[in-house]
Amino acid sequence: MTSRTRVLTGMAISISIVVTLQLFASFVKLGSFAITLALVPMVVGAAIYGKAAGAVLGGACGTVVLIMCINGVDPGGYVLWSANPALTAMLCLIKGSLAGLAAGGVYSMLSKNNIYLGVICAAIVCPVVNTGIFLAAMVLFFHGVLSEWAGGTDLVYFLFIGMAGMNFLLEVAINIAICPAILRIIKASKSVV
């Protein structure tokens, strides 16, 4: 199999895993929003195939999230879609793509000296970027919706504890816990001729 065919096949498999995990995760909620289980294959794909692949995988994840927002499977996302469809679409696609791109960039930069550090940092950076962009967009573009959801609660407390706190911590914990498996997959992919 040629190198290009191997990459295309690997990306197709990775995209199908991302889509499947994110569809499944749409039904696993802590609070108003679903957790993002697709971050692990985004990190793996970004480490094996590069930053651009990470961005593509993040875009696939964002597309699933957007579809769930539009059709109401994600009730919080549906509220955002109802408030501003164009901004919600951009938010879903951009935050996923940048999370994958950042994971690939961090892995590429750090793995040259220490592959373990590269994997761990990429696994942490992916949910940090994903959640960080989401929270920033909520404050900047959906302030009215955010205030309504907070119901008089301090917005900073609501953002970090009530809205994204548990989801974010679970996403980071899953990524860190799966780091040994991610490392094995990366090493196995490099040994394939």
For 3-191, CATH number out of 3.30.1490.20, 2.40.110.10, 3.30.420.40, 1.10.1760.20 equals 1.10.1760.20
Q: How does DSSP classify residue 30?
A: E
CA-CA distance, 80 to 146, in Å (whole number)?
A: 10
Neighbours of 193 (CB within 10 A): 5
Return the SS3 of 29.
strand
Whether pTM exceeds 0.95: no
pLDDT tens figures, 130-177: 999 999 999 999 999 999 988 888 888 888 887 777 788 888 888 888
- DSSP sequence for 164-186: THHHHHHHHHHHHHTHHHHHHHH
Q: Nearest 5°: phi and psi at 131?
A: -75, -40
Backbone φ and ψ of 142, nearest 5°: -125, 40
Q: Where are the domains of the chain?
A: 3-191
Name which of 63, 21, 67 is nearest 41 in CA terms. Answer: 21
Res 33: pLDDT: 66
CA 114 to mean position of chain CA atoms: 24
Average pLDDT value over all residues in the chain? 90
Phi and psi at residue 8, in whole multiples of 5°?
Answer: -60, -40
The pLDDT value recorded for residue 30 is 65
